[in-house]
């Protein structure tokens, strides 16, 4: 980044606030734990804690100023409303951006696809691609991610999530993407939205913020493709589908690679491209097609993007792989602990089933949240995917998974436990050299603690 991220004068102009002294900042955060020297600390109000209570800690860690709604000790910008001021800073950041901006949403794979897209673009423009970190994809995370975008960024990649209708519409109008991508439609958040059609409509809101010459990237392999296309055509100059069948961007050939990934030849809008994917699983073929469709739509470097997909490692909680020392040998632990819904569960179980192992295949599966009245049916519906994966044994976490145990009908050994701690105990008692184990659940179940306990200091790996 050349020059400061923000000057005090720019922050004043954007927010309408008043600075107590001139300053320059190199970063922005509303989490005092993330503060680094040179940062602006945003004192966000909250239902549990108020950011103003952490201003002193932020200054101790090196913050040069704080954005506040009441005077504090230390250099600060005083505003009437901190969340509104952060949003105003986001708007100013987007207004000064002269490069291309991408928006990514979807029920499945949006964070992985966002990370892959950022890596694909950065291969040609290292250090010039800004993207939202973690899952900063909501009404506070998206403004923060925009406010963090360096002024000389060539590309910006932003993830947008939702729990209810109307939320993505508000976010996409802040992001104003040139390319808006929907990864997939699945029954995540169906408890709040009520139907798959409503989920598709909520995801389709991302097109409402498209720039006038914008492109919509839409999954072809969904019953809601035409619904998404209809929504896109109201706002997009161009709509591009990806996936199988008659998709605009499709895999002409895809075979499993020697190291567990895939070798793909894809037909794109402007050219055919042969590339490798480091990540295992058929769902990553679809993710890669979405990424390349977006890269192509922006006129970016396709060859560099293909190379980046071949080098991309696993993401923490979303496919990161660990070799775990077990009794004189090693076992493979696949960390999918961050999120889960029926579609992603089935996809990762299929990947486990294709894994070449010397021992057995095991899985630790926890509750899928936010399914409402569909929960029992959705959990029971995983039985075919579990059986097809060729598991030797299954550990289920949480009483909501009981319908899956019942649907399996005793066809393989199942252990039902109450929580993550019991799941770790059960897995450690069973894990043997040569085994491969998948750990997956909604983040709220806390199975990341199972990964941490079982993997310990094990290094991530590619196999």
CA angle 225–284–199, rounded 5-degree value: 35
The DSSP bridge partners found for residue 156 are: 101, 130
Structural contact between residues 303 and 273, judged by C-beta atoms closer than 8 angstroms: yes
Structural contact between residues 188 and 107, judged by C-beta atoms closer than 8 angstroms: yes
Is 111 annotated as a binding-site member? yes
CA 6 to the chain's CA centroid: 27
Q: Which helix (H) or strand (E) holds 65?
A: strand 65-68
Is 112 annotated as a binding-site member? yes
Instruction: List CB contacts of 209: < 8 A, sequence separation 6 or more.
Output: 103, 169, 171, 172, 173, 174, 175, 176, 177, 180, 235
Is 106 annotated as a binding-site member? yes
Is 262 annotated as a binding-site member? no
Q: How far apart are CA 417 and CA 423, in angstroms?
A: 6
Is 460 annotated as a binding-site member? no
Is 156 annotated as a binding-site member? no
Q: How far apart are CA 45 and CA 79, in angstroms?
A: 13
Cβ count near 339 (within 10 Å): 23
Q: Which residues are annotated as a binding site for ATP?
A: 106-112
Q: Which residues are annotated as a binding site?
A: 106-112
């Amino acid at each position: 980044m050349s020059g400061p991220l923000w000057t005090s004068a720019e922050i004043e102009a954007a927010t309408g606030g008043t600075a107590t002294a001139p300053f320059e900042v190199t970063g922005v955060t509303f989490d005092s734990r993330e503060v680094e020297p040179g940062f602006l600390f945003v004192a966000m109000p909250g239902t549990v804690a108020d950011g103003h209570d952490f201003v002193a800690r932020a200054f101790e860690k090196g913050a040069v100023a704080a954005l506040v709604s009441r005077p504090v000790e230390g250099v600060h910008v005083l505003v009437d409303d901190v969340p509104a001021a952060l949003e105003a800073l986001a708007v100013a950041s987007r207004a000064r951006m002269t490069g291309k901006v991408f928006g990514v949403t979807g029920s499945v794979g949006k964070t992985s696809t966002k990370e892959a897209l950022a890596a694909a673009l950065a291969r040609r423009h290292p250090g010039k691609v800004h993207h939202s970190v973690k899952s900063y994809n909501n009404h506070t995370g998206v403004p923060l991610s925009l406010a963090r975008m360096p002024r000389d960024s060539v590309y910006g990649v932003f993830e947008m999530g939702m729990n209810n209708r109307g939320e993505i519409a508000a976010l996409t109008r802040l992001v104003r993407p040139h390319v808006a991508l929907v990864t997939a439609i699945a029954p995540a958040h169906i408890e709040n939205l009520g139907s798959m059609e409503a989920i598709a409509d909520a995801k389709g809101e991302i097109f409402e913020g498209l720039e006038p010459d914008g492109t919509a990237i839409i999954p072809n392999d969904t019953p809601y493709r035409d619904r998404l296309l209809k929504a896109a055509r109201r706002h997009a100059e161009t709509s591009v589908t990806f996936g199988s069948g008659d998709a605009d961007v499709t895999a002409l050939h895809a075979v499993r690679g020697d190291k567990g990934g895939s070798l793909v030849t894809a037909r794109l809008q402007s050219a055919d491209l042969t590339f490798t994917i480091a990540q295992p699983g058929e769902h990553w073929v679809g993710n890669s097609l979405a990424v390349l469709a977006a890269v192509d739509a922006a006129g970016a470097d396709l060859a560099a993007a293909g190379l980046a997909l071949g080098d991309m490692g696993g993401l923490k909680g979303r496919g990161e792989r660990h070799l775990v020392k077990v009794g004189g040998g090693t076992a493979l632990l696949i960390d999918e602990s961050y999120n889960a819904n029926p579609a992603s569960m089935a996809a990762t179980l299929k990947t486990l089933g294709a894994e070449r192992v010397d021992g057995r295949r095991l899985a630790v599966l926890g509750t899928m949240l936010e399914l409402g009245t569909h929960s029992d049916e959705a959990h029971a519906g995983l039985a075919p995917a579990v059986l097809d994966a060729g598991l030797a044994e299954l550990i289920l976490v949480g009483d909501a998974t009981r319908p899956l145990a019942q649907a399996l009908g005793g066809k393989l050994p199942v252990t039902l436990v109450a929580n993550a701690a019991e799941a770790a105990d059960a897995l450690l008692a069973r894990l043997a050299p040569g085994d491969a184990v998948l750990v997956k659940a909604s983040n709220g179940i806390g199975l990341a603690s199972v990964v941490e306990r079982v993997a310990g200091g094990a290094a991530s790996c590619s196999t």
